[in-house]
Amino acid sequence: MDEGVRDIYNRFGGDELSFDPRKDEMKLISDIAVVYLFWAVMGYIMTIPSGARACRTWLMIIGVVILAIEVAFKLTDTQIPDWMPERMTEYELISYLHAFFPLLIASLRILSESLYVDVDQTSLLVLKEIFLHQKVFICIHYYDVHVHNVYVYVLIIYWIDYYRTIES
């Protein structure tokens, strides 16, 4: 096999042997950008719940690292490291990284959800316990308020002193 064809095969796989994709850099960059835009949107959608938002930073960092590896292998003459398996090509490494990313999204979301602590809910529970220990009743009311065509949820917390209600 010719050395130029072998380099195209190593970097872009067997489908691209007829034409060197590096000669059309705009198509190559747009193909790479579409893949990573898709993964960014999927990562955002998977991390919409408040418990999963903490893993967005790590997903984007790992996504940028994988993007940098792909750009280095496809747009430059960077070779695969020597410590990698001898028969692995750059195309295979990028394919493995692409296959690993959805698993990474799901596992980081699961980890983030399991470690999530809702600070607002915990604060309300602590406040409720404090008031109960002080023999004070807490009343929490939610109201829907319509202000300038916007619905606002208003939380009103008030307490009733236990001793004052008994005495009166």
For residue 80, the model assigns a pLDDT of: 85
Domain edge (last residue) among 72, 92, 115: 115
Range of the structural domain that residue 22 is part of: 3-115
Q: What whole-number distance in Å separates Cα of residue 93 and Cα of residue 142?
A: 54
Sign of the Cα pseudo-torsion (156, 162, 164, 168, in order):
positive
Residue 50 CB: number of other CB atoms within 10 A? 11
Give the model confidence (pLDDT) of 5-30 as tens digits: 777 777 777 776 777 777 778 888 88
Q: Which residues pair with 156 in a beta bridge?
A: 141
The pLDDT of residue 90? 86
Domain boundary among 115, 135, 153: 115
My answer on whether 131 and 68 are in the same domain is: no
Q: What is the pLDDT of residue 41?
A: 92
Q: pLDDT over 90 for what percent of the chain?
A: 23
Are residue 51 and residue 103 in the same domain, yes or no? yes
User: Looking at the structure, do residues 90 and 150 belong to the same domain, yes or no?
Assistant: no
**Model pLDDT, residue 131:** 67
Q: How many domains does the chain have?
A: 2
**Residue 64's pLDDT is what?**
94
What's the mean pLDDT in 41-63? 88
Report pTM. Answer: 0.67
Range 86-104 average pLDDT = 90
Are residues 138 and 98 located together in one domain of the fold?
A: no
Read off the pLDDT of residues 106-136 as tens digits, 9 standing for 90 and up.
999 999 888 888 787 788 778 777 766 665 5
Q: Beta 136-147 vs 150-161: how paired, if at all?
A: antiparallel
Q: Please check whether residues 106 and 128 belong to one and the same domain.
A: no
DSSP 139: E
- Last residue of one domain, picked from the residues 73, 90, 115: 115
Q: What band does 154 get if pLDDT is binned at 50, 70 and 90? A: very low
